[in-house]
Amino acid sequence: MSEFDLIRRYFTRATAHTLLGVGDDAALLEVGAGRALAISSDMLVAGTHFFVDADPFLLGHKTLAVNLSDMAAMGAVPRWATLAISLPEVDEEWLERFSSGFFELAGQYGVELIGGDTTRGPLNLCVTILGEVPARQFLRRGGAHVGDEIWISGRLGDAALALAHMQGRTVLSDAEFSVCSAALHQPQPRVALGLALHGIANSAIDISDGLLSDIGHILDASQVGGHLNLAALPVSEVLRDYLSRPLGLECALSGGDDYELCFTVPSMRHAEVTEIGIQLGLQLSCIGKVVAGHGCIVHDTLGNPINIEEGGYDHFR
């Protein structure tokens, strides 16, 4: 059973007082005056999501960043957060650095920490984030239409390649690792992009489990298919050298921890998206199209479909 099968079977129920419930990057609660409250929770577990000896400052940044990314995917303005933290012991130096990383990023986005919980146990970090979004202009997964262009922000795969190096699956030079590790340890949530896509994007998701897995959620929710062009994928020069190898394809297509936005827009809005990228100083790349059918097919530079064995990260597979 996959992580998402588990959620659907055991934890998805019909709701009567919710604008948008289980199954997207955040739930939406209509709170009046045409506004909705976006709510999302993410848990980071030592040994699963990060190494136990991870730099606590960078870990504090990432703990909040992955939640900010969910707000970006909904087109929401992040406002408040709670933090539930399980600690094996009280290490004041560790806590000082962790909280500094957390609050530095919170300050950049005007997010207030308003509560949470602390307990003794294995290191476990859980943030619930709340944001605001117009009740009828939010982004969601299930809105892609046949003919839409598929776009990606930033670059893909650097975080996965850095992790592969740390796991001993490949060897990067110090300079290469420096490029890739920044993506792994300090992801940059695309909140401004999410806000700019109001009224332009038909669907959106943040890439946390790998491009193919997450674009798959859009396609499934929208009941459509997708075609992607490998040559159009935005990757660093470091990763580009790996694309002819299985590891490179895995990192670019299935590696997690990118925390970029994947979104679809009508082809007639192409120039508007390009202009948004220019205004934000952010690389935005059109990597494919939404088509009739189901599933996602990746094409190589000659237009031939590529056989992809791994679709993305799943906690229970």
pLDDT of 234 higher than 90: yes
Does 157 lie in the same domain as 113?
A: no
What does the block give as tokens for 50?
A: 């990060």
What does the block give as tokens for 254?
A: 């299935």
User: Which pLDDT score, from 0 to 100, does residue 314 have?
Assistant: 45
In tens, the pLDDT along 100-126 reads 999 999 999 999 998 888 899 999 999
- Angle 4-225-251 from CA coordinates, rounded to 5°: 60
Does 167 lie in the same domain as 101?
A: no
pTM: 0.88
Does 170 lie in the same domain as 78?
A: no
Which structural domain, as residue segments, surrounds residue 202? 149-299
Does 104 lie in the same domain as 72?
A: yes
226 is a domain residue: yes
**Which residues have CB under 8 Å from 14's CB, separation 6+?**
none
Tally of domains within the chain: 2
Does 231 lie in the same domain as 93?
A: no
Does 278 lie in the same domain as 197?
A: yes
2 is a domain residue: no
* CATH number of the structural domain spanning residue 276: 3.90.650.10
Does 160 lie in the same domain as 288?
A: yes
pLDDT of 197 higher than 50: yes
In tens, the pLDDT along 239-298 reads 998 888 889 999 999 988 999 999 999 999 999 999 999 999 999 999 999 999 999 999
Of 88, 103, 134, the last residue of a domain is 134
Taking the C-alpha atoms of residue 306 and residue 132, their distance in angstroms, rounded to an integer, is 40
In tens, the pLDDT along 54-77 reads 999 999 999 999 999 999 999 999
Residue 121 burial by CB count (10 A; 0-12/13-18/19+): exposed, middle or buried? exposed
Does 242 lie in the same domain as 177?
A: yes
